[in-house]
Amino acid sequence: MEFSNRLQQLPPQFFAALVGKVTKAVAEGRDIINLGQGNPDQPTPPHIIEALQEAAADPLTHKYSPFRGIPALRQAAADFYKREYDVDIDPEKEVAILGGTKIGLVELPLAMLNPGDTMLLPDPGYPDYLSGVALADVNFDTMPLTEENKFLPDYDALPEEVKERAKLMYINYPNNPTGGVADQQFFQETVAFAKKHDIAIAHDFAYGALGFDGVKPASFLQAEGAKDVGIELYTLSKSYNMAGWRVGFAVGNEKMIEAINLIQDHLFCSIFPAIQYAAAEALTAEQGCVKILRNTYESRRNVLVEEARRIGWNVQAPKGSFFAWLPVPKGFTSQQFADVLLDKADVAVAAGNGFGKYGEGYVRVGLLVSEDRLREAIARVEKLGIFHLTVE
């Protein structure tokens, strides 16, 4: 038996390869400090767990969920957006419940594009965006994200033919992998760009709760006219340490939301209702746990940046997300540098080239270990004298 052509077109799973290397090293008995992952290390807050336990004990949650999610969660998503961003959302027509936002990002090209159509993706960007490209048999062009432009796409620099053939575009702020952020002016420019070229926008707002230095990340939907052209996808994985729970939602443009809901009508019967009730509790309860988490990541960021600069590693502090995007020393490619750190320092990082052409020259570091482990990781790099090494 052979895989379908569609499966054979799927890109290699970048994170699976990284996990394999780290797992092999750990199996050898090595003390690996894993900074390459994007998996939150803190537990889910107790009040959310208690909501799950209470809901799971109710036999009514043991039945099939409504196909498009329980009304309580759709309403919670709408209430969350009104409270946090002063954006009005219709819970019946402008919310799609997702088993994690990765599902929505992979489904969207299948739901909105035809084979041969083109979408625009950020470079560097989340590698799994390419899964949707392959499964939908569509084409893609990229928008370079450079440090010189604060890791924002330069719409004016895109070739006219690229702008005209694109039908769907993904953006992601705070950004994975760069830690860059976007403001309302950028989102307003994005709306104007989308309207001029008839492009649908999907904003991956996975790290929406994680803005540093007292600046709250802006929502794309706060821009005037945003719902005319696009949607925003929000996951509970990062804001509430619910990565393994697999729950999120998309909000915004009614037609795009209906496209997601319709394809999911045929693929899924939504999420275990008890998880949905717990997610509603997370979104609507007092948000002190989110503030604590954000402060934790900001403190870790500060430790990482301070320690890296101490050893002569010229790094910039990320303004959001729980990642840092660190330049590779002269003489190394991203993959070479990542391999040296794993092989000689027992420190795992994600090579930047795995996120796209413009990721070359960087490595991504996750702020997902304790401050002491971050200090130890930099101390291990320091002992290598890595900034004086050259590659043959």
- DSSP states of 307-359 as a string? HHHHTT---PPPSBSSEEEEEPPTT--HHHHHHHHHHHH-EE-EEGGGG-GGG
If one counts every other C-beta atom within 10 angstroms of the C-beta of residue 241, the result is 21
If one counts every other C-beta atom within 10 angstroms of the C-beta of residue 391, the result is 11
Per-residue model confidence as pLDDT tens digits over 249-263: 999 999 999 999 999
Q: How far apart are the first and last CA of the chain?
A: 44
Structure tokens at 377: 């990781």
Length of the chain: 392
Task: Kindly report the pTM of this predicted structure.
Answer: 0.96
pLDDT the model gives residue 13: 76
pLDDT the model gives residue 78: 98
Q: Which domains are assigned to the chain?
A: 5-44+289-388 (3.90.1150.10), 63-284 (3.40.640.10)
Mean pLDDT by 10-residue block, N- to C-terminus, for the chain (392 residues)? 90 81 93 94 97 98 96 98 98 98 97 97 96 96 97 97 97 98 98 98 98 98 98 98 98 98 95 98 98 98 96 94 96 95 97 96 98 98 78 40
Phi and psi for 96 in degrees, rounded to 5? -125, 125
pLDDT the model gives residue 133: 96
pLDDT the model gives residue 388: 62
pLDDT the model gives residue 15: 77
